[in-house]
């Protein structure tokens, strides 16, 4: 279990049901304000302009070469998880994996709302398939190895960029430098089959897809961290005491 961040915190106030209800209603007003703000933010996100994808990206998959357009699987919208899986390494990013854990169940819903999903990594197809088998995932996951896709969408960087500290990650707002980082990108396809890039988010921008936070943010201990996602492990590591992996998560 993670260290208890409440161990040295002040004891909670114990009040009557009536006093609790007053405090709860005051918080509800703020929650409603945030909900309405989120609605407006989501509308602005949907209204962002689109950029035509001119590059002819061809990914590798267990089924053979796959184009970006193929990943839509007959739908008009596509979410791509930029999954940190480095070529030549068997390390699986625990944060990326935590987000991916919820995909197979969720996609049975969003695929019926005209949205496809794919994970993309620079690792080889063999390395990707080994990770899928270990984690028990069935969603589509392809290799961008040999293409500029990861570099073009701001999640892979050259050793020279990392050494200079000028990766430009998260639109140059997050000073976190590594050759592989995480993110989410959104694409749309029009009636002619042309593909457009509509949105990308990085660093904490993608944490809403890590569903355990939605539960932990409701409870007194919150995210129960000693550092950003410090306790997060692969879902098959919690019982064997393997060390938590926090190396790949940027701070805000």
41, 81: one domain: no
Edge-to-edge strands, sheet with 58-61: 51-52, 195-202, 183-189, 77-82, 115-121, 141-143, 58-61, 64-67
129, 27: one domain: no
What pLDDT does residue 67 have?
Answer: 97
Q: Is residue 243 part of a domain?
A: no
What pLDDT does residue 9 have?
Answer: 63
Residue 211 is encoded by which pair of tokens?
A: 């569903």
66, 37: one domain: no
Alpha carbons 249 and 228: distance in angstroms, whole number: 7
What pLDDT does residue 5 have?
Answer: 52
CA distances 208 to 6, 180, 203, Å, are 24, 20, 11
119, 167: one domain: yes
pLDDT in tens, the chain (252 residues): 455 555 656 789 999 999 999 999 999 999 999 999 999 999 999 999 999 999 999 999 999 999 999 999 999 999 999 999 999 988 888 889 889 999 999 999 999 999 999 999 999 999 999 999 999 999 999 999 999 999 999 999 999 999 998 899 999 998 888 999 999 999 999 999 999 999 999 998 988 888 888 888 888 887 877 766 667 777 877 875 443 443 444 433
Question: Considering its fold, how many domains does the chain have in total?
Answer: 2
What pLDDT does residue 238 have?
Answer: 80
């Amino acid at each position: 279990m993670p260290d208890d961040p409440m161990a040295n915190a002040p004891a909670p106030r114990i009040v009557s049901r009536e006093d609790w209800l007053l405090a709860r209603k005051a918080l509800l007003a703020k929650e409603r304000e945030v909900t309405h703000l989120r609605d407006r933010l989501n509308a602005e996100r949907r209204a962002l302009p689109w950029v035509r994808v001119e590059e002819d990206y061809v990914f590798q998959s267990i089924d053979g070469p796959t184009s970006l357009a193929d990943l839509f699987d007959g739908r008009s919208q596509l979410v791509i998880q930029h999954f940190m899986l480095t070529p030549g390494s068997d390390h699986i990013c625990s944060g990326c994996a935590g987000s991916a854990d919820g995909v197979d169940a969720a996609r049975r819903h969003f695929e019926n709302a005209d949205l496809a999903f794919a994970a993309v990594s620079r690792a080889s197809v063999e390395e990707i398939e080994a990770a899928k088998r270990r984690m028990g995932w069935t969603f589509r996951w392809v290799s961008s190895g040999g293409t500029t896709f990861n570099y073009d969408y701001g999640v892979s960087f050259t050793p020279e960029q990392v050494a200079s500290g000028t990766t430009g990650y998260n639109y140059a707002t997050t000073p976190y430098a590594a050759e592989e980082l995480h993110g989410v990108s959104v694409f749309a396809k029009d009636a002619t089959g042309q593909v457009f890039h509509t949105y990308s988010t990085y660093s904490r921008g993608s944490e809403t897809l890590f569903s355990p936070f939605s539960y932990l943010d409701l409870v007194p201990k919150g995210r129960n961290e000693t550092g950003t996602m410090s306790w997060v492990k692969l879902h098959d590591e919690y019982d064997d005491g393997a060390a938590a992996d926090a190396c790949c998560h940027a701070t805000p």
